[in-house]
A and B are shown apart, each in its own frame.
Chain A
Amino acid sequence: MDETVARKLRVLADAAKYDASCASSGAPKRSADKTGIGSTNSIGICHSYTPDGRCVSLLKVLLTNYCLFDCAYCINRRSSNVERARFSVREIVDLTLAFYKRNYIEGLFLSSGIIRSPDYTMEQLVLVAKTLRQDRGYRGYIHLKTIPEASPWLIEQAGLWADRLSVNLELPTDAALTAFAPEKRGSTIRAAMGQMSERIAEAKEERRSFSPAGQSTQLIVGADSASDEDVLRTSAGLYSSYGLRRVYYSAFSPIPDSTAKLPSQSPPLQRENRLYQADWLLRHYGFDVDEIAASSDGGMLDLGIDPKLAWALKNRHRFPVDVNAGEREMLLRIPGIGKRAVDKILAARRHTSLRLEDVKRLSGSVRRALPFMIAVDHHPGRSIDRVDLRARIAPPPAEQMSLF
Chain B
Amino acid sequence: MPRQVDLARGADLDGFRRAARALVAAGVAPTDVVWNADSEGLFAPEDLGDAPPLSLPRALATIVSEAVPHSDPERYALLYDLVWRVTHGAREVVEIASDPVVARLHGMQKSVRRDIHKMHAYLRFRSLGPSAPGEPERFAAWFEPDHWILEAAIPFFVERFRAMRWTIVTPKGSAHWDGDRQTFGPPGTRADVPGSDGFEAGWTGYYESTFNPARTNPKLMRQHMAKKYWHNMPEAAAIPALIRSASSRVDAMVEAPPTMSLKREPQGALAAMMEGGAPETLEALNAIIRKSGPLVPGATQAVVGEGPANASVVFVGEQPGDEEDLKGRPFVGPAGRLLDRAFGEAGIERRDVYLTNAVKHFKFEQRGKRRVHSKPTAGEVSHYRWWLLKELELIEPKLVVALGGTAVLALTGKQVPITRARGPATLLEDFAGYITVHPSYLLRLPDEDAKAAAYATFVDDLRRVREIGGATRRGAVPA
Contact = CB atoms under 8 A, between A and B. Distances in A.
A binds B: yes
B254 A265 contact: yes
B250 A266 contact: yes
B333 to A, nearest CB: 26
A116 interface: yes
A199 to B, nearest CB: 7
Interface stretch (A2-10, A292-300, A383-391): A2-10
A51 to B, nearest CB: 5
A362 interface: yes
B98 A354 contact: yes
B387 A153 contact: yes
Given A49-B224, A55-B224, A351-B95, A31 B235 contact: no
Interface residues of B, number: 95
A277 interface: no
Nearest to B259: A257
B221 interface: yes
Nearest to B255: A264
Interface of B, secondary structure class, is helix
Interface of A: 1, 5-6, 9-11, 13-14, 16-18, 31-39, 45-56, 59-61, 68, 78-81, 95, 98-99, 101-104, 114, 116-120, 130, 137, 140, 150-153, 156-157, 160, 198-199, 202-203, 205-206, 208, 210, 251, 253-260, 264-267, 269, 344, 347-348, 350-352, 354, 357-359, 361-362, 400-402, 404
Contacts of B421: none
Most buried by B among A137, A254, A256, A265: A254
B245 to A, nearest CB: 10
Find the residue from B98, B198, B255 having the highest chain A CB count within 10 A.
Answer: B98
Given A14-B209, A254-B250, A264-B254, A51 B386 contact: no
| Interface pairs A-B: 4 shortest CB-CB | A53-B220, A119-B277, A117-B277, A202-B379
A102 B126 contact: yes
A267 B213 CA distance: 11
B231 interface: no
9 contacts: A17-B211, A49-B220, A51-B221, A116-B277, A206-B377, A251-B215, A257-B256, A266-B254, A269-B215
Contacts, number: 278
A101 B217 CA distance: 29
Given A36-B163, A37-B163, A81-B261, A52 B125 contact: no
A10 B242 CA distance: 15
A51 B239 contact: yes
B214 interface: yes
B98 A348 contact: yes
Given A6-B202, A49-B225, A156-B386, A68 B217 contact: no
A131 B291 CA distance: 14
Interface in B154-201: 156, 159-164, 179, 197-199, 201
Contacts of B256: 256-258, 264
A56 B233 CA distance: 13
A50 B207 CA distance: 7
